[in-house]
């Protein structure tokens, strides 16, 4: 959920704000975009440290050290916070992940995401779970992972075309394909 102050801020403006952040902040948002679903601050700190992403001072992340940057990112419309946790804004989540996919960091971040990122919400929508694992498969060019996500978590609640639409048309980028 985006704060009311940011509802008029376009996808392009948000992405430009992301691109103007320090590199250390961009790395955190890349991992958060790959995680996709809401995650607690402590779980995010664990993931960041496992991925060897230091904070701006070159130190390991803690829950306390995440508080201020997360608040700042929320103020500029890049993340939202709820009782379920922190989540990358849906308007820029795919743009940020596509930037990550162009780098050599994707595989390492995906490994951490698969191993460490657990949802803090026990009521996570099965569609979100399918999209999360399907995104990893698409960005890693592992189509079998998309099929597995649909068969394992889909329970008939979502079709392949719905998953692809949610990922590939947010926004559509012909250069990405």
Summarised one tens digit per residue, pLDDT across range 151-163 is 887 667 788 888 8
Residue 145's domain comprises 125-169
Asked if residue 131 and residue 102 are part of one domain, the reply reads: no
Asked if residue 130 and residue 50 are part of one domain, the reply reads: no
Q: Please indicate, yes or no, if residue 177 is contained in any of the structural domains.
A: no
**In whole angstroms, what separates CA 1 from the centre of its chain?**
14
pLDDT of residue 131 exceeding 90, the answer is no
Q: What is the pTM of this model?
A: 0.86
How far is the C-alpha of 56 from the C-alpha of 67, rounded, in Å?
14
Asked if residue 130 and residue 89 are part of one domain, the reply reads: no
When pLDDT is cut at 50, 70 and 90, the band that residue 165 belongs to is confident
Asked if residue 19 and residue 69 are part of one domain, the reply reads: yes
Cβ–Cβ under 8 Å, residues 161 and 150? no
Asked if residue 145 and residue 62 are part of one domain, the reply reads: no
Cβ–Cβ under 8 Å, residues 160 and 136? no
When pLDDT is cut at 50, 70 and 90, the band that residue 164 belongs to is confident
How far is the C-alpha of 89 from the C-alpha of 156, rounded, in Å?
27
Asked if residue 154 and residue 92 are part of one domain, the reply reads: no
């Amino acid at each position: 959920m985006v704060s009311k102050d940011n509802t008029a801020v376009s996808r392009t403006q948000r992405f430009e704000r992301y691109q103007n952040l320090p590199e250390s902040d961009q790395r955190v948002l890349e991992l958060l975009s790959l995680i996709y679903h809401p995650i607690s601050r402590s779980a995010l700190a664990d993931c960041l440290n496992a991925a060897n992403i230091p904070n701006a001072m070159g130190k390991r992340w803690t829950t306390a050290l995440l508080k201020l940057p997360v608040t700042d990112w929320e103020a500029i419309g890049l993340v939202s916070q709820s009782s379920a946790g922190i989540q990358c804004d849906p308007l820029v989540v795919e743009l940020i992940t596509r930037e990550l996919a162009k780098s050599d960091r994707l595989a390492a971040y995906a490994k951490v995401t698969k191993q460490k990122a657990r949802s803090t919400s026990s009521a996570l929508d099965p569609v979100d779970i399918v999209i999360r694992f399907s995104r990893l498969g698409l960005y890693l060019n592992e189509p079998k992972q998309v099929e597995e996500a649909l068969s394992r978590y889909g329970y008939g609640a979502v079709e392949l075309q719905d998953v692809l639409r949610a990922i590939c048309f947010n926004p559509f980028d012909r250069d990405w394909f």
